[in-house]
Amino acid sequence: MSRKYKLSAAVALSATAALLLGACGGGDAQDSPNEGLLEGADLIAGSKEFTESVVLAQISSIALEDAGASITDQTGISGSATVREALETGEVDFYWDYTGTGWVNILGNTTDDVPEDLFAEVSEADEENGIAWLEPAPFENTYRIAAKQEFADENGIETMSDAADFINDNDDQARVCAASEFINRDDGLPGLEEAYDFEFSQVVELDLNLIYPQVGDSCEFGEVFSTDARIAANDMVVLEDDEDFFVQYQGSMTLRQESLDEFPEIAEIMAPISEKLTNEVVMELNGQVDTLGEMPEDVAREWLEDEGLIGS
């Protein structure tokens, strides 16, 4: 039902004054901190298919647009290898990746000999491929194995070593739900089973988004990302990687060096944004999409505005 209100002359005058004040910049609107820095830039945004990657791409895209760039959205590409190939061939200009992925899957190293300063090694080595890694954010999104809290408590499972012992003794409760990429990556399931000397009795391949509700149903264990808000939402516990198998996966925006050379302001724009992307912030942003059903673009824009990183 619509309602109509009749304003008194005094209220009407006050409302008019407020509108005029807002039009003159006296309201809550804020100017862009990077206005005009990227005028004339035409860039193509890419991402992997999972929520965090899409949200990070939207954060970057909106920030670069706020600085004057024109952005074409090519987000949601399935698979790390596919989006990386798109970057190398110029089908996209940037996307967010992770140091562990860079070290193992892109540069072809193993998980056995990881340098102390992984970001420095990865970024320096990838220069030969014409790819730049901007200064990393403080968050780390690592692969992990999780189980329902009740199941883990009942069976005394806190670490991956505990899980390996349990799985070796209980073949009928040794199923894992995982996505295809994790199943086939050396720094994923094959390497994990070798490092802890066990083997799941059954691997149930699912889309990433379907894993969380299936843990405790189709599977006793599941592949998860450490910054995913659905871990807590589904009453799951992440098992400690007590043998330190998983490589550090620190997030960084990667982009074509030629794009950065043409528009070095990109690094300047992204630096204060990356600094604010902590584990807690990224998990909160992921949760707004995955558990509250909000759109990644809306979540990204609201966060950027709230932090004063773009104009509003």
pLDDT at 289 over 50: yes
pLDDT on residue 1: 32
Residue 271, classified by CB atoms within 10 Å of its CB into exposed (0-12), middle (13-18) or buried (19+), is exposed
pLDDT at 9 over 90: no
pLDDT on residue 19: 34
pLDDT in tens, 263-281: 999 999 999 999 999 999 9
- In three-state secondary structure terms, 65 is helix
pLDDT in tens, 179-212: 998 999 888 999 999 999 999 999 999 998 899 9
Which one, of 203, 65, 228, lies nearest residue 142 by Cα? Answer: 228
Which one, of 136, 130, 96, lies nearest residue 262 by Cα? Answer: 130
Query: Who's near 144: CB < 8 A, 6+ residues apart?
Result: 223, 224, 225, 226, 238, 239, 241, 246
pLDDT at 57 over 90: yes
Say which range, 109-123, 209-223, 251-265, has the weakest mean pLDDT: 109-123
The amino acid present at 102, given as its one-letter code, is G
- Please, what's the b/e burial string for 244-257 (b: 16 or more CB within 10 A of its CB; e: otherwise)? ebbbebbbbbbbbe
